[in-house]
Amino acid sequence: MSEPVADASADQPAAMVRLRVAVDTPQHSGLTGPLDYLSPQPLAPGSLVRVPLGRRELMGIVWPGEPSGDTDPALLRPILSALDGLPPLSAAWCQLVEFAASYYQRSVGEVALSVLPPQLRELDGQKLKLRLKRVAKLGAESRGAQAEAGRAAAAQPPELSPAQAEVLRQLDEMLTSPAPAPVLLYGITGSGKTEVYLRAAEHALQQGRQVLVLVPEINLTPQLEARFAERFADRSIVSLHSGLTPALRLRHWLAAHLGEAELVLGTRLAVFASMPRLGLIVVDEEHDPSYKQQDGARYSARDLAVYRAHLEKLPVILGSATPSLESWQRANEGRYKRLALPGRIGGGALPKVRLFDMKLLPLSKGVTTALTRPLIEALRSRLERGEQSLIFLNRRGYAPVLHCGECNWKSDCPHCSAWRVFHKGDRTLRCHHCGFTERVPSACPTCGNQDIAPLGRGTERLEEQLAETFPEARVARIDADSTKHKGQLEAQLQAVHAGEVDILVGTQMITKGHDFRGITLVAAINPDGALFSSDFRAPERLFALLMQAGGRAGRDAAQAARSEMWVQTWHPEHALYKALAKHDFEAFAASQLAERESAGLPPYAHLALLRAEGRTAEAAKGFLDAAAAFAQQMPEAAQVLVYPCIPMSVARVANVERMQMLVEASNRSALQRLLWHWMPELHALKREHKGLLRWAVDVDPLAI
Ligand code: ADP
Ligand code: ZN
Ligand code: ZN
């Protein structure tokens, strides 16, 4: 046994103990693990402390495990204070963070601190005590109020359908199993998945456990929260997402951490919520790309939810009508348990899909019309019956580019390799990549021609055309532009629900989750782009999007029979559309998986992307080439394929050139080993490549 630290040098206070503390060290420092500090008293792992780092004072977390011991104790600095009063973060929480940091190649301290509420990082012991008191007091009050409300209006749950009952029976079995496998709950929109979440949650709550429910987007939380709040009127429910005020986010986080909150509903960051009695995790719309964080530690909250469930031996339910091919494949292999809900509740049919062949239109000069005659007829018949229609176009603004017919000038962005989009509403040209905005010129900036024209079509233009075609109809548009201000989205959705809108135009914002009752026609007017994208996941995303959009129609069983989903395409014979027409996700998944397998793509291979940004493309390329050269001579290289680097699809953004390099391995751990040994070298390489601004690695990237 080694000597206790207490015997160290004479000027060292007698009782100093060595601690490991996770602090947010800058990524480039190359310090990836916790650092050693001294403390006058032992502190439990998971305790929050304030420590000095360089000349700064930072929040840190006492980390489990033995201090490294290699630093001379005389060089170690003592912690400044401990935030006692806050129960320590659990060992499982620390392990989740440690896994995320190592898997996504970031430092433990960075991940740990970045997933705590920002206000928590700023608190001292005094302020923390006040906050804790508030949470306890609010908890008691809301429990009182909710118990009151609960007696008054606890919503009666519906009788389960036989399929739901069977799914729940199997889930209950798992709830009590010592190490349950993840469940893939597969069922179309309206098949009753949410009802299953509610029941499973109820069972976990009855056992005194906490429940974590993840949704892909903030604007879906209020809706789900309302449904949970209605069912669990006597339970304490909090939300966790980046749209909360810092004070509220801290309060909700503390409520979860103290075990006061029984249900936590949140977006991807909530996967890191500290929940001491966690008993069930639900990931709704598990296929949704929003679960992947796009900067810093680029984690997948869906994948971390599965890891967390495995770690804490809990059931996790991944729900979707169009599961990710990764999850689908795992279910095929039996690693996930697939439970299916066939058909809509009440037997409502899915909308009939009509693939409209654009090649059948008479050829005309210029832009083909989006509002084809048959579509106009279909819309008109809805209007006459007082039903609603939804038109989906994944491009906002009036037109993607302005064009001068005389000199061929186009509204390019001076800072990006992209066009600036014409927004008619505020008469601006706006770059959707860097934000550069100018008023629309009244004449061509190059030749002075006054007749510059918009090319192509965005939601704004479609809205205008619809209003012209149907002067009597109430047309509304929902996209990022129409919902910039707080409350706008809610108000617009409310208008749709209240039947104050006849035709709704929008981007993918309107395809997700909303339970519109009066819609009997959904039209995708130009979805072909994704069929020929260089991103191998584009068809998977398109299929999910169209299934989801279609799911907006005929939610009301009475109308389901005459609901239609209209797809205008130049490629009606494409396998994706054929499968869509039959609502056949399984056929689509099987054909995609076969393609992926023969091409050696995920889920049959594992990918990482190394991205580099430089003032010049050469600088970015120089760094990536050097990185590749280094990787080639590592022992792990035998099992890993490093592709030549290529410019990103939008190569220049805000005057920064962006390149990426794909790394592929058939075996996950080989890829992990390579990355692990590669990272320190990349930090060193950055210093040699002066023109390089930033680099980052994205493990399991979603967009290629
Ligand atoms: P999903 O989450 O798969 O879209 P939901 O759980 O939202 O499906 O169910 C669709 C609709 O059917 C909702 O309005 C819901 O209240 C209702 N519903 C769900 N299960 C039942 C049931 N067993 N009996 C009656 N109505 C149900
Ligand atoms: Zn011109
Ligand atoms: Zn730009």
Q: Is the CB of 117 under 6 A from ligand 1?
A: no
pLDDT band at 513 (very low <50, low <70, confident <90, very high): low
Tens of pLDDT, residues 377-397: 999 999 999 999 999 998 999
pLDDT band at 20 (very low <50, low <70, confident <90, very high): very high
Q: Is the CB of 400 under 6 A from ligand 1?
A: no
> Per the structure block, which two tokens stand in for 278?
């966690």
> What average pLDDT does the chain have?
90
Q: What is the DSSP string of 305-364?
A: HHHHHHHTT--EEEEESS--HHHHHHHHTTSSEEEEE-S-GGGPPPPEEEEEEGGGSPP-
Q: Is the CB of 348 under 6 A from ligand 1?
A: no
* Residue whose CA lies nearest to ligand 1 atom number 20: 192
pLDDT band at 28 (very low <50, low <70, confident <90, very high): low
pLDDT band at 423 (very low <50, low <70, confident <90, very high): very high
DSSP state of 484: -
How far are the Cα atoms of 131, 397, 623 from residue 295, in angstroms, in the given order?
30, 26, 20
Region label for 141, one of left (φ > 0), alpha (ψ between -120 and 50) or beta (otherwise): alpha
* Gap between the Cα atoms of 262 and 207, Å rounded: 11
Q: Is the CB of 290 under 6 A from ligand 1?
A: no
Checking if the pLDDT of 3 tops 50, the result is no
Predicted confidence at residue 606, as pLDDT, reads 96
Q: What mean pLDDT do residues 312-336 have? A: 96
Q: Is the CB of 554 under 6 A from ligand 1?
A: no
CA atoms within 13 Å, Cβ hemisphere of 328: 21
Q: Is the CB of 98 under 6 A from ligand 1?
A: no
Q: What mean pLDDT do residues 523-539 have? A: 90
Q: Is the CB of 315 under 6 A from ligand 1?
A: no
* Gap between the Cα atoms of 365 and 352, Å rounded: 32
Q: Is the CB of 189 under 6 A from ligand 1?
A: yes
**CB of 271 closer than 8 Å to CB of 286:** no
Predicted confidence at residue 147, as pLDDT, reads 58
For residues 89-127, one letter each, b for 16 or more C-beta atoms within 10 angstroms of the residue's C-beta and e for the rest, the string is bbebbbebbbbbbbbbbbbbbbbbbbbbbebbbebeeee
Bridge pairing between strands 606-614 and 656-665: antiparallel
Q: What mean pLDDT do residues 437-461 have? A: 93
User: Tell me, what amino acid is at 480?
Assistant: A
Q: How far is the CA of 469 from the centre of ligand 1 (A)?
A: 36
> Per the structure block, which two tokens stand in for 299?
């984690």
Q: How far is the CA of 345 from the centre of ligand 1 (A)?
A: 6
Predicted confidence at residue 288, as pLDDT, reads 95
Average the pLDDT over each of 1-10, 31-40, 84-93, 111-120 and give the range with the smallest value: 1-10
pLDDT band at 664 (very low <50, low <70, confident <90, very high): very high
Checking if the pLDDT of 143 tops 70, the result is no
**CB of 349 closer than 8 Å to CB of 343:** no
pLDDT band at 346 (very low <50, low <70, confident <90, very high): confident
Q: Which atom of ligand 1 is nearest to the CA of 197?
A: 6
Three-state SS annotation for 49-70: EEEEECCEEEEEEECCCCCCCC
* Residue whose CA lies nearest to ligand 1 atom number 4: 190
* Gap between the Cα atoms of 483 and 206, Å rounded: 39
Q: Is the CB of 157 under 6 A from ligand 1?
A: no
Q: What mean pLDDT do residues 189-204 have? A: 93
Q: How far is the CA of 462 from the centre of ligand 3 (A)?
A: 24
Q: Which atom of ligand 1 is nearest to the CA of 196?
A: 6
Q: How far is the CA of 370 from the centre of ligand 2 (A)?
A: 27
User: Helix, strand or coil for residue 496?
Assistant: helix
User: Tell me, what amino acid is at 139?
Assistant: G
Q: Which of 291, 298, 269 minimizes the C-alpha distance to 117?
A: 269
* Gap between the Cα atoms of 175 and 160, Å rounded: 19
* Gap between the Cα atoms of 32 and 23, Å rounded: 10
Which value, to the nearest 10 degrees, does the dihedral of the CA atoms of residues 421, 423, 426, 431 take?
-20
Q: What mean pLDDT do residues 186-208 have? A: 93
* Gap between the Cα atoms of 529 and 457, Å rounded: 14
Q: Is the CB of 319 under 6 A from ligand 1?
A: no
Q: Is the CB of 158 under 6 A from ligand 1?
A: yes
Q: Which atom of ligand 1 is nearest to the CA of 551?
A: 4
* Gap between the Cα atoms of 165 and 221, Å rounded: 26
Q: How far is the CA of 236 from the centre of ligand 2 (A)?
A: 63
pLDDT band at 489 (very low <50, low <70, confident <90, very high): confident
Q: Is the CB of 320 under 6 A from ligand 1?
A: no
Q: Which atom of ligand 1 is nearest to the CA of 198?
A: 6
Taking the CA of 447 as reference, the closest ligand is 2
Q: How far is the CA of 413 from the centre of ligand 3 (A)?
A: 5
> Per the structure block, which two tokens stand in for 562?
């005459």
Q: How far is the CA of 431 from the centre of ligand 2 (A)?
A: 20
**CB of 605 closer than 8 Å to CB of 665:** yes
Q: What mean pLDDT do residues 457-470 have? A: 94
Taking the CA of 431 as reference, the closest ligand is 3
pLDDT band at 154 (very low <50, low <70, confident <90, very high): low
Predicted confidence at residue 66, as pLDDT, reads 86
For 368, phi and psi rounded to 5 degrees? -70, 145
